[in-house]
Structure 1
């Protein structure tokens, strides 16, 4: 698992969620946004590249 999607409570109009990268076994506390299709997110610490599709899969499954 390298990407976690966490839902927000549905008690307000614009409820959504947040994506977090699991880097070297630890959850990075900074929320990520979905990267543009042509520019994947690259972690400066572990070097993994996360593409737009990875974010959507994490949202569907809860984590990837």
Structure 2
């Protein structure tokens, strides 16, 4: 991979991790331990999490 592309991916990944950390700082009070799901998870966090998982999956496949 070109060095420029790697730097761009690192920057985007770091920004994404920061956004995820900001979105998940406060643990929802309505967490159900039985099901392990949040009742009111917002769409932004869900999309970021999905994107993050896909990014990890792609990186694992590259190596």
- The question of a shared fold, defined as TM-score above 0.5 by the shorter chain, is answered with no
User: Larger % of helix: which?
Assistant: 2
User: Larger % of strand: which?
Assistant: 1
Rg larger in structure: 2
TM range (shorter): under 0.3
RCO (CA 8 Å, sep 6+): is it higher in 1 or 2?
Answer: 1
TM-score (norm. length: structure 1): 0.23
